[in-house]
Structure 1
């Protein structure tokens, strides 16, 4: 392994050309990581990487569509050839399935009338895409002295919170796509954590909160920087940090 004095900390963030993913990429770059900006659109990815470099960070674009296995394999080959290892994987890429609407207005996700093809598309990105990217990057993460995986979930993933008719999530419409996909993602987080804990790989799920992004038509009340902070905290945990957890900025969330 490279001497510690010259060791480059490498972080890959999927869906990093905008929103919370870009916010996490910016903060990781500020902390000295070489940041790989994962984006489906190569031009948008390079524009974001250039902006991070202009701000003083070390950033490179990686074309990556999490639903395209060939794209995922190619991204893993690129990371190996150029950087040899990976220290942090932030699985941020995700879709709501409802276009640019707030969760309160996602009428197309009511279970009794939902379009099953839409549910499949959401799970393809939010769940299966995470498995594809994580498995492709694991050999590179295993070369890190402190590998970290952060899966970007949502408060809407919490069964406890969403089941409470008088709780903070009561305003959400019933969802057969987005919320269940994020619940599946938190469950998947635990399974990866259980498998990898003996190797020192810390795997956690993050709920950024209601952030002002395109995905909710900019109805969120948190800034992107605020929302991304919990992702970055989990990406930079010490060796004694938690694994198999589900966290917001305020702390652990109920499953």
Structure 2
């Protein structure tokens, strides 16, 4: 029996994949993104141990609602590929049940995703946090290359992707870096859209509760005009950007 550790679950519409989604937040993440909105999911030890069967029982309660709304199941985190066996088993069970499946990941642990896991994944929400390697390391504490390698592999396998890009003033708004990412993404035939997400501070209260500093507390949120400008950079490469 495959067990995993989860933080929580929620129902969401339009952000975590098409339609209304059952969104499962798993525990544990190897990155420490400065703008992370879910620091309460960083550590595996803080999660609740559960089984795939127990999660599927919960999903079944909402099956009629999410399928009628054209949705499915999204596994996010934390980082789902930190628990790749649990995530893979859950994606396969959802797929067998006829549910649309989405995997929300940074791609940093993409090498842990087996071809079997990806075959059970209808959509990957791939969060590319910066196209500049130095900025990526400063922003996440990790290296960029594994994420780009994973994107290339997904494209080779024909797995559909939505690219996510969080726009953080002074960090990820440098035009040359955005241009490089847009050029890279435009070369991936399985990308359906790019979501440019404005940096926000909605998770700041969680940092207070955990007694840890929020690194970007003094960073402003981007203007509507700057967000649209970055979207236009992606659109100029023939990409659908929102």
Instruction: Verify same fold: TM over 0.5.
Output: no
| Higher relative contact order structure (alpha carbons within 8 Å, sequence separation ≥ 6) | 1
Greater percentage in helix: 1
- Larger relative strand fraction: 2
Normalization by structure 1: what TM-score? 0.40
TM-score, with structure 2 as normaliser: 0.41
